[in-house]
Amino acid sequence: MKLIECVPNFSEGRRAEVVQEIVGAITAVQGIRVLDRSSDASHNRSVITFVGDPMAVKKAAFTAAQKAAELIDMEQHRGEHPRMGATDVIPLIPVSGVSMEDCIALARELGREIGEKLQIPVYLYEEAAALPERKNLAAVRRGEYEGLKKAIEKPHRHPDFGPLRLHPTAGATAVGARPPLIAYNINLDSSDVNIARKIARSIRGSNGGYPSIKALGVLIKESNRAQVTINVCNYRHVPLSRIFETVKSEAARYGVGVSGSEVIGLLPMEALLDAAAFYLRLQDFHPGQVLEKRLMEGEKEGR
Amino acid sequence: MKLIECVPNFSEGRRAEVVQEIVGAITAVQGIRVLDRSSDASHNRSVITFVGDPMAVKKAAFTAAQKAAELIDMEQHRGEHPRMGATDVIPLIPVSGVSMEDCIALARELGREIGEKLQIPVYLYEEAAALPERKNLAAVRRGEYEGLKKAIEKPHRHPDFGPLRLHPTAGATAVGARPPLIAYNINLDSSDVNIARKIARSIRGSNGGYPSIKALGVLIKESNRAQVTINVCNYRHVPLSRIFETVKSEAARYGVGVSGSEVIGLLPMEALLDAAAFYLRLQDFHPGQVLEKRLMEGEKEGR
């Protein structure tokens, strides 16, 4: 079963009825499941998580962008979060049975369709970026909606698809592809936040650690315990087991133990199967041995 | 999503066309997936693994038993494996969204239907047993098809459903409910099979270990390595992590290491999620956080 996750961000976090109409446009597409939705009033922004097969995801993302263009006027939009369009970003994430390349190809098809049919300029970002400097979303969105009105005319800011001017109400949209991001926290049995900070530095890319790892050391007030809070941006490059064991051994170097870890929100089954396979030293294991996985893939033949 | 696994055993392992007709009757039921099928000529027996929602599983199991009664004549059947009927056993196994109690209730409905509509005597066994002495399938099947012809007349051998005599060609059928069985092997970095045997004794129920664990020490010829080969009959009672860690520490007592472990065939996702949660010390984790699990359950609401 081919599954892609899509997590579009819309520039509306206050008018519940508008968000509901956008969600409605997504759920109306056959084969689509909305897994999560959250709106933030101060950011005036909503994030919707849905999954489905590639064609259904493309259709749902397009109709959602169309609906957002009808209902959201960027001329009126105010909010803390950086944004450049009614549908601000559309990341596509491979979940099962599809490769990153599939998601990149789909991002380009979707971007072309939004650009041409909705006349909204589209920038490809992250893994789908056509230009290296557009891998970074912040660079693509520089100047935000207001600044991009003029900046878009400069050749190096020209969109990848659609007109060379912002849509009068919907602005511009970034469409990209990326691996699933896992929000993973590891708790220390210490209240010394400096130890958590040192451990965070030892694993994160910005200090010479794993390039796909972002990490901070924080103090959890409720428990008065230090925590290493981590974004795992590519669990295939750095599995949870390696992160957990590295943090455990770094903590031991300070005479501190690890009391536990937490996954915040959703994660792909594979990330936990990998951890089980690592610790149980599983040999010749493949995910098709998992009953539920076999079911999703709809295989008819057994071992 | 409610899912039950059903693994019926049929007394035909030689005539491929007969097995194919039975598989056809199962796959003809909407919502059923056949995951595995295997036939053994010397046992003259076939095992078919399929899954679906409770009502579909009940329908598929019934039609399969009906088809087997048409095509298999126990008067002609010879084979090494103990058997008492054309459809010899029908175990129902909870996979997701259903409890053991649900499977027990379904086993009784299915048993009643086979008994009354097909006039085949049915014995409830394992978790579904109505009498404690019938929990053990071997006790239910004692005497096999030939011996049961007379024995069935004795009150303590009367079936739970259906006529008080064997079906003239289909014999009798055992219908039961049980947890998923996991075939799990742990490999030692030693060729001393006696160490594997001692470890097997230390964990299996028959020697005072875990009641739901069956284990043997064997020598794997190809690798000339000793192996503890295990049937995990209730992974909720004894998780894989506890088995692996126990075998590891028992092996260390003999100065031997564990080179790895293997899962043979299929296992429920939960068994591996439990292992990941154990080793990563996950706090506040629930399977609904797994993207694929969330999908199967068809939840529309997020965290």
pLDDT tens for each residue of B270-283: 999 999 999 999 99
Taking residues A47-61, what's their average pLDDT?
Answer: 96
Chain position carrying tokens 């996985």: A293
Dig out the tokens for A256 from the structure: 């501190």
The percentage of residues in chain A with a pLDDT greater than 70, rounded to a whole number, is: 98
Taking residues A181-187, what's their average pLDDT?
Answer: 94
Task: Examine the fold and report which residue of A150, A177, A204 is the final residue of a domain before the chain moves on.
Answer: A177
Which residues in A132-156 are b (16+ Cβ under 10 Å) and which e?
A: eebbebeebbeebbeebbebbeeee
- Weakest mean pLDDT among A79-83, B173-177, B192-196, B258-262: A79-83
The percentage of residues in chain B with a pLDDT greater than 90, rounded to a whole number, is: 85
Q: Quick one: which of A84, A89, A86 has its CA closest to A145?
A: A84
Among A36, A262, A290, beta carbon nearest to B282: A262
Measure the CA–CA gap between B45 and B28, rounded to whole angstroms: 22
Same domain, B54 and B157: yes
Same domain, B143 and B12: yes
CA distances from B126 to B90, B171, B207 (A): 11, 20, 21
Contact with chain A for residue B269, Cβ under 8 A: yes
Same domain, A285 and A195: yes
Q: Of B192 and A222, which is predicted with more confidence?
A: B192
Task: Examine the fold and report which residue of B177, B203, B236 is the final residue of a domain before the chain moves on.
Answer: B177
Q: Is A296 a domain residue?
A: no
Q: Residue B70 has what pLDDT?
A: 97
Q: Residue A295 has what pLDDT?
A: 79
The percentage of residues in chain B with a pLDDT greater than 70, rounded to a whole number, is: 98
Dig out the tokens for A196 from the structure: 């958590």
Measure the CA–CA gap between A212 and A214, rounded to whole angstroms: 7
Q: Residue B49 has what pLDDT?
A: 94
Identify the closest residue of chain B to A37 by CA–CA distance.
Answer: B302
Same domain, A98 and A187: no
The percentage of residues in chain A with a pLDDT greater than 90, rounded to a whole number, is: 85
DSSP bridge partners of B124: B175
Given a contact cutoff of 8 angstroms between Cβ atoms, the answer to whether B261 and B186 are in contact is yes
Q: Is B296 a domain residue?
A: no
Given a contact cutoff of 8 angstroms between Cβ atoms, the answer to whether B232 and B238 are in contact is yes
Q: Is A303 a domain residue?
A: no
Full 3-state SS string of B109-123: HHHHHHHHHCCCCEE
Q: Residue B298 has what pLDDT?
A: 57
Q: Please tell me the distance in Å from B22's CA to the nearest CA on chain A.
A: 15
Same domain, A135 and A38: yes
**pLDDT score of A36 more than 90:** no
Same domain, A63 and A201: no
How many Cβ atoms sit within 10 Å of the Cβ of residue B254? 15
How many residues are recorded in chain A? 303
Domain assignment of residue B284, given as a range: 182-289
Same domain, B241 and B133: no
Same domain, A148 and A235: no
Q: Collect all residues with Cβ–Cβ distance below 8 Å to A48 and sequence separation of at least 6.
A: A7, A8, A10, A22, A23, A26, A34, A36, A37, A64
Average pLDDT, chain B: 94
pLDDT tens per residue, range A126-175: 999 999 999 989 899 999 999 999 999 999 999 999 999 999 999 999 99
**Number of domains within chain B:** 2
Which of A295, A299, A301 is the best residue to mutate to test the B interface, defined by the most B CB atoms within 10 Å of its own CB?
Answer: A295
**Contacts of residue B240 in chain A, CB cutoff 8 Å?**
276, 280
Which CATH number fits the domain that encloses residue B223? Answer: 3.30.70.670
Dig out the tokens for A288 from the structure: 């098709």
Three-class secondary structure of residue A262 per DSSP: strand
Q: Is B303 a domain residue?
A: no
Three-class secondary structure of residue A69 per DSSP: helix
Same domain, A124 and A192: no
Q: Is A166 a domain residue?
A: yes
Active site residues per annotation of B: 81
Measure the CA–CA gap between A67 and A86, rounded to whole angstroms: 9
CA distances from A214 to A94, A135, A165, A192, A257 (A): 20, 17, 35, 20, 21
Same domain, A193 and A214: yes
Which CATH number fits the domain that encloses residue A133? Answer: 3.30.990.10
Task: Examine the fold and report which residue of B150, B177, B204 is the final residue of a domain before the chain moves on.
Answer: B177
Taking residues B167-187, what's their average pLDDT?
Answer: 96
- Cβ distance A281 to B260 less than 8 Å, yes or no, reads yes
Average pLDDT, chain A: 94
Measure the CA–CA gap between B135 and B144, rounded to whole angstroms: 17
Helix and strand numbers (H, E) in chain B are 9, 11
ipTM score for this prediction:
0.79
Q: How confident is the model at residue A300 (pLDDT cuts 50, 70, 90)?
A: very low
Same domain, A14 and A161: yes
Q: Residue A298 has what pLDDT?
A: 56
Same domain, A224 and A107: no
**Surface of B (172-191) touching A: CB under 8 A:** 180, 187
How many residues are recorded in chain B? 303
Q: Is A105 a domain residue?
A: yes
Measure the CA–CA gap between B88 and B70, rounded to whole angstroms: 14
Q: Is B249 a domain residue?
A: yes
Q: Is B65 a domain residue?
A: yes
Taking residues B138-160, what's their average pLDDT?
Answer: 96
Dig out the tokens for A175 from the structure: 């469409």
pLDDT tens per residue, range B66-108: 999 999 999 999 998 899 999 999 999 998 889 999 999 999 9
Considering the entire predicted model, what is its pTM? 0.80
Given a contact cutoff of 8 angstroms between Cβ atoms, the answer to whether B133 and B40 are in contact is no
Q: How confident is the model at residue A294 (pLDDT cuts 50, 70, 90)?
A: confident
Q: Residue B265 has what pLDDT?
A: 83
Measure the CA–CA gap between B223 and B217, rounded to whole angstroms: 15
